[in-house]
Amino acid sequence: MTEPTVEYIFDFAAPNGYLAWYPLKDVVARTGARLTVTPVFLGGMHKLTGNAPPMVRDAGVKGKVAYAALEFRRFLDRHGMDRFHMHPALPFNSILLQRVLVAARDEAERQAIVEALLPAVWERNIDCGDAGAVGSALAQAGLDAERLLAATQDAGVKARLAENTEHAVGRGAFGIPTFFVDGEMWFGKERLGQLEEFLAGGKP
Quick: pLDDT tens for 169-184. 999 999 999 999 999 9
Over range 154-168, report the average pLDDT.
Answer: 98
pLDDT for the residue numbered 201:
85
pLDDT for the residue numbered 1:
53
Per residue in 3-56, pLDDT tens? 899 999 999 999 999 999 999 999 999 999 999 999 999 999 999 999 877 778
Please give the angle made by the CA atoms of 12, 111 and 153, to the nearest 5 degrees.
60
CB-CB contact of 90 with 52 (8 Å): no
**CATH among 3.30.70.890, 3.40.50.1000, 3.40.30.10, 3.40.1190.10 for 5-199:** 3.40.30.10
pTM: 0.93
Residue 8: burial class (beta carbons within 10 Å; 0-12, 13-18, 19+):
buried
Nearest to 100, CA basis, from 79, 70, 126, 131 = 131
156 band by pLDDT with thresholds 50, 70 and 90? very high
In this structure, the dihedral spanned by the alpha carbons of residues 148, 149, 151 and 156, taken in order and rounded to 10 degrees, is 110
pLDDT of 203 strictly over 70 = no
Over range 77-105, report the average pLDDT.
Answer: 96
183 Rama sector, left if φ>0, alpha if ψ -120 to 50, beta otherwise: left
- Give the H or E element holding residue 34: strand 34-39
Chain-wide mean pLDDT for the chain?
94
Max Cα-Cα span within the chain = 50
